[in-house]
Amino acid sequence: TQLLEQSPQFLSIQEGENLTVYCNSSSVFSSLQWYRQEPGEGPVLLVTVVTGGEVKKLKRLTFQFGDARKDSSLHITAAQPGDTGLYLCAGARGNYGQNFVFGPGTRLSVLP
């Protein structure tokens, strides 16, 4: 059973376009993380959101945690080829790593 769903699974866009990636679940999480993974590397943490309704901005990336702490979105403004990678959301159902669950990922390709 996939506890976290991500959409879309694949996305190919032109440089300069905007995009939004969604992470949804029927479960409540104590926190939610977004990671980006490039080929041949481990996932790199982008942000952690903790409070329902929280919005965090990281340059061109905007992250939102749903009010009920069951879903999240990642919005990228004016995408660049350097944004290409696999975007993973992960939910923590407690304060310890063994309660982590990862979404299937969104593979983003930004074409120059």
- Residues of this chain that bind another protein (CB under 8 A): 30-31, 33, 35, 40-45, 48, 50, 88, 90, 92, 94-100, 102-105
Rounded least distance, CB 100 to another protein, Å: 6
Which residues make Cβ contacts (< 8 Å) with residue 70, sequence separation at least 6?
A: 24, 25, 26, 27, 28, 29
Phi, psi of 63 (to 5 degrees): -115, 140
Which CB atom, from 39 or from 112, has the smaller least distance to another protein? 39
Which CB atom, from 13 or from 46, has the smaller least distance to another protein? 46
Q: Classify 4 as helix, strand or coil.
A: coil
Q: Classify 82 as helix, strand or coil.
A: helix
Rounded least distance, CB 50 to another protein, Å: 6
Which CB atom, from 97 or from 112, has the smaller least distance to another protein? 97
